[in-house]
Structures are given as C-alpha cells and as structure tokens.
Amino acid sequence: MSDLITALDNTELEWWKEKIEEHRIRFVNKPSYYVEKIIKERKINKEDLEKNIEGILLSLREEAWQTYLIDEALFNSEIISHLFVNRNLPKTILSELLNREFFNLDLEKLSKEEIEIKIAKIVGDSTGRVFPYIYQLSLSTTNSRRTRSGKVFETLIESFFDILQYPYETQSSISSGEYWSLGKKVDLIVPDVEKYSKERAKCAVVTMKTSLRERWQEVAEELHRTSVPHIYLLTLDPKVSGNLIDTIKRYNITLVILKKDKERFPRSDNVKDYETFFKKEIPYIANYWKA
C-alpha cells in the first residue's frame, strides 16, 4: 500500500487551492444568483413585503442557503473526483485499494449489505489517506460559506430596497474615491452619496452583519473615523444583550434586529425591528428628499 499522505508541500498546496477555486467557480454561483432566482420564482412584490417583511427575509435566506448547498454538494463531488483522477499519489492509493479490496471479490457470493460495507471501507480508507487535501478543502469551504452568508443577507436587503422602490446607493455602485469618506464598513446610503454630502443628518447610512460578536466595534470605529453622525446596523444575530445596546447607543448606532429579539428591549429607542426599519425609518428619510 502506498504511504499515507500526512502533509502537502507548498507546490501541491498551491495546485490544490487553485483547483478548488476553479471548480467552485464552475459549480457554485454567486450569492446574488440564488437570491434573485428565488425572488423571481416566488414572485415577491411590494405588497408581499409590506405584509410580512421579516418572515420573507428569513424564508428567502433559508431557501437561498438550501439551493446553494445543493450546488456545493456537486462541487465537492467533482473536486474530490478530480483529485483521485488527476494526482498520482491519490490515484495510486485508490487504485491499490480497489485492486485489494474490491476487484478480486466474487460479487455473486456476497450480499448487497456486504458489498456496501466493502465500498464504504474503500471510500473511508482512501479519503483518510489523502486527508490533508480534504482538510484544505474544508477550510476553503468554511471561509466561502462565511462570506456567502453575509453576501446573501446583503443582497436580500438590497433587493427589498429595490422592490419597495427606495432610493439608495451601494459600495459597488460608487467609486472608491467618493466612498472613501464614508468608510469601508458602510454598505449603502439612502438616498445617495450626493445628498449625503449636502445634508448627512437627513440621510440613512446602513451596514449589515449577519452576526455581531465583536464586529460592531468595527462599525463604531468607522463612525468615529469618518464622522458619520448615525448608522443603522442590521443583523440577524439573536445574541444581543442589554449591555451591548447601551454601549452602541453612545456611538449613535441604531440596531435593527428580528421582532422576537426586539421584544426583549421594549424601552430601547436605538433598537428597531425590520418592519419598523422598512416601513417607517427609511420611508421617512426617502420622503424628505422627495419634497
């Protein structure tokens, strides 16, 4: 039996990282694709959002995630197959296992269960012997999932702005020079940067984070550095404490959270739910600029 692979040298590691990204691009779509596909399929319109904006936010996010997982499973299958077909040592490991454990079997004398056990052993043994490849694939997938989760959330919020016909600009639609004064943690401006430069107190600055942990501090630092007077921080994180709310209030941060979480803080005026944000806060600002 060929030696166990215990580590990848730099050359092999770079090859594997490159192949992972190549296959991910081939089989896994951008987060915006999944969001736009599901919104189109479900025919989400303004009336739907006005009736149940939070429920739709959560259900669309879950549907987008489940659709992504299907593509991710195909990606994993293809990249691991590519490894065993195209790299000499993994290919040799699999070949020797098949020759020893499977090809010399008299399948007619074995039950279906016995054959399945043999195949499972080959799968387990072969993947175990090339585990450094699997480990690197797992790291890559974890990072990709974390990034995609945030991008799906951002795309959903932007899509809601579009459906509700609220004016806004995002980082992707503004040149880095114009956006620099607002900081990298800002995701969108209502109604736009031009209006913000004229009367920033009458505009909405919005940022989004699926989870907070210590990341709210990044937002606070940007506020201080860029002199943004106030910012809406949208999150789906249920682990919000009273101490955190009191702290971010000092930085002029309004937290937007799910209604069930907002109910724990009935007296905190710097905490809003999504319905209030989309049906009162943003319309008020948008209407100001219509006058």
Strands (DSSP E) found in 26-170: 169-170
d(CA 187, CA 206): 6
- Which of 161, 189, 216 finishes a domain? 161
Each residue's pLDDT tens digit, 41-76: 999 999 999 999 999 999 999 999 999 999 999 999
Q: Are residues 136 and 220 in the same domain?
A: no
Reported as a pLDDT band with limits 50, 70 and 90, residue 107 is confident
Are 154 and 170 members of one domain?
no
pLDDT score, position 137 = 97
Assigned domain for 30 exists: yes
Q: Given 161, 190, 217, which residue is the final one in a domain? A: 161
Q: In terms of domains, do 134 and 187 share one?
A: no
- The boundaries of the domain holding residue 264 are 166-290
Report yes or no on 5 lying in a domain.
no
For residue 99, the model assigns a pLDDT of 92
Q: Looking up tokens 């694939």, which residue turns up?
A: 137
Cα separation, 118 vs 55, in Å, equals: 47
pLDDT on residue 259: 95
CATH number reported for the structural domain that contains residue 231 in this entry: 3.40.91.80
pLDDT tens for each residue of 115-132: 999 999 999 999 999 999
Q: Output the pLDDT for position 11.
A: 95
Please indicate, yes or no, whether residues 33 and 63 belong to a single structural domain of this protein. Answer: yes
Please count the structural domains in the chain: 2
pLDDT given at position 179 = 54
Query: Which pLDDT belongs to residue 197?
Result: 87
In terms of pTM, does the model score above 0.75?
Answer: yes
Instruction: Return the H-helix or E-strand segment holding 99.
Output: helix 88-101
Q: Which tokens go with 106?
A: 């008299």
**Contact in structure between 201 and 229 (CB atoms under 8 Å):** yes
Q: Which residues make Cβ contacts (< 8 Å) with residue 127, sequence separation at least 6?
A: 80, 134
- The structure tokens listed for 211 are 């989870």
- Domain endpoint, select from 128, 161, 194: 161
Task: Give the Cα separation of 18 and 24 in Å (integer).
Answer: 10
